[in-house]
Amino acid sequence: MESIWKSGVPPFPYTQNTPLPRRAEVAVVGGGMSGILTALFLKERGIDCIVLEAGEVGGGQSGNTTAKITCQHGLRYAALEKKKGASAARVWAECCLGAIDAYEALAEKYRIACDFERLPAMLYTRRQEEKLEEEAAAARRCGIRAELRRRTELPFDILLALSYPAQAQFHPLRFLWGIAKQVKVWAGCRVCEVKGHTLTTEDGEEVEAQKIVWASHYPPENFPGLYFSRLHQSRSYAIALSGAQTLGAMYYGIDEGALSLRSYRDSLILVGGAHRTGIDHAPPFAALRDAAKKYYPGARVTAEWSAQDVMSGDGLPLAGTFSSLTPDRYLATGYSKWGMTGAMLAAQIIASDICGERHPAAPICSPARFGLSELRATAQESAHAVRGLGRRLLHIPAETAEELSPGMAGVVFYKGEKRGAYRDEAGNLHTLRPYCTHLGCELNWNPDTLTWDCPCHGSRFSPDGVPLDTPATSHLSTCCLHTGRNAAQAPNEPSRKDEQP
């Protein structure tokens, strides 16, 4: 099922139908919120900027977000004060509050009917009272009018809630398309190589750009930067309900396994089940449906979808120069589940830098930062990569492809070799080499999204090996495709293109 945002609107109707220009001052790779906002801010400053989007505008994470625009990002401020200091925490709070204002101002300026509305964002806990009290104190020191509450409108008891007033929510695709109309976007234009200042598309077209912005989620370039050693990806799951209570605030539970909730018009959205991409996990949609039945009996599930987030070591975005070795390339990623605020800040930071200005949040979000958190993340990511690569050598499948019933998949023995195999509901067997085309880790099947997911850095592939999420950009090798019944060739699954190059 598509997200509530994607199912409610027709595909983005505006794309350039002229050939790609040979030159541009700035080329942005990725037509999600970060890329489109960056292009807008550059255009408003008189800079010639083009956006190259592999799939559809907003077809990736921007169309699967919960679309909360907040300065409240879970337990943020107490930790930020400890890690980066009181001054940085205060700057961060001011910049995030400014990001909310910026969305509102753009919606007004371009007259975008995107259901933008101000309302409180609430953290809640059922067992960690002290944590929330500590966060409230830190948030107030950062200038946020945070209030503790004992009661909420939620249909279950809480111990304590922390309310931040005047945050915002909206319809992300309606907003994004209103902005995308203002800039030059080539959709369905996959960048497959960047060398120096030259971008080459899948169709062999070349564009020379003075500056290049990677705004395509997980950076697909391994060197320089080595971001694969510091970032991982996480999936989360959402359902929309009709016939449930609508809420006057957005909610985020800080306890393990707690729900996140928001309303959109007369629908209620429940989010949960987050896990590192590519690892075994409990069935998230079943858990969300159970929660819906328990707390909102009589409500009906109208949409189910999932999203993928790039997680940074310290939970803050990476926005700025890609590497000191490539001063004309920029990176926008690592929003760590708070993509709307992160995208706005990243776009502001990068556009400012290109124009020779300094955004106050630039040092906090610098991709070059490397403190204790990044060091810890590097150690953890290296361990994951070693495990993922080790699995390739040491994992011996327990099943054969013949044992897979319809709807089942796994790494199995097939014709004497280790293969990834998926038997679809029609009985067709889809087999491929189950090794990620990024750095070679063994993939795991995700039954909730029907995809092959990489535990190392979070690349994802369709059952037929089409890359869905970076850093991998190449197809998996499909060694063969046949049906269990008549050995006839089955058609390829339609591929979901996303915002990646």
The residues binding ligand FES (CB under 6 A) are: 228, 436, 438-441, 454, 456-459, 471-472
Give the full edge-to-edge strand order of the sheet including 451-453.
444-446, 451-453, 460-461, 467-469
The residue among 320 and 458 lying less far from ligand FES, judged by its C-beta, is 458
Q: Give the alpha-carbon dihedral of 376, 381, 382, 385, to 10 degrees.
A: 170
Q: Which is nearer to ligand FES, 135 or 453 (CB)?
A: 453
> CA nearest 62: which of 74, 53, 75?
53
Q: In the complex with ligand FES, which residue's Cβ is closer, 380 or 483?
A: 380
Nearest distance in Å: CB 367, ligand FES: 18
Beta carbon nearer to ligand FES, 125 or 459: 459
Task: Give Dmax (Cα) for the chain.
Answer: 69
Closest distance to ligand FES from the beta carbon of 317 (Å): 20
Q: Is 347 helix (H, G, I), strand (E, B) or coil?
A: helix
Beta carbon of residue 307, minimum distance to ligand FES (angstroms, whole number) = 17
- Smallest distance, ligand FES to C-beta of residue 468, A: 12
Which one, 158 or 436, has the nearer CB to ligand FES? Answer: 436
Nearer to ligand FES, 251 or 435 (CB): 435
Comparing CB distances to ligand FES, the nearer of 130 and 280 is 280
Tell the smallest beta-carbon distance from residue 417 to ligand FES (Å). 20
Element (H, E) at 182: none
CB of 388 to ligand FES, least distance (A): 6
Which residue shows structure tokens 């700035």?
26
Residue 33: Cβ within 10 Å count: 34
Q: How far is the CB of 451 from ligand FES (least distance, A)?
A: 13
Per-residue CA distances from 256 to 30, 273, 362, 402 (Å): 33, 10, 32, 39
Nearest distance from residue 426's CB to ligand FES, in Å? 29
Q: How far apart are the first and last CA of the chain?
A: 24
Return the number of the residue (6 or 217) whose C-beta is nearest ligand FES.
Answer: 217
In the 3-class helix/strand/coil scheme, how is 411-472 assigned residue by residue? Answer: EEEECCEEEEEEECCCCEEEEECCECCCCCCECEEECCCCEEECCCCCCEECCCCCEEECCC
From the number of C-beta atoms within 10 Å of its C-beta (0-12, 13-18, 19+), residue 135 rates as buried
Burial class (CB in 10 A: 0-12, 13-18, 19+), 467: buried
How buried is residue 408: exposed, middle or buried, by Cβ count under 10 Å (0-12/13-18/19+)? middle
* Nearest approach, Cβ of residue 389 and ligand FES (Å): 8
Shorter beta-carbon distance to ligand FES: residue 152 or 277: 277
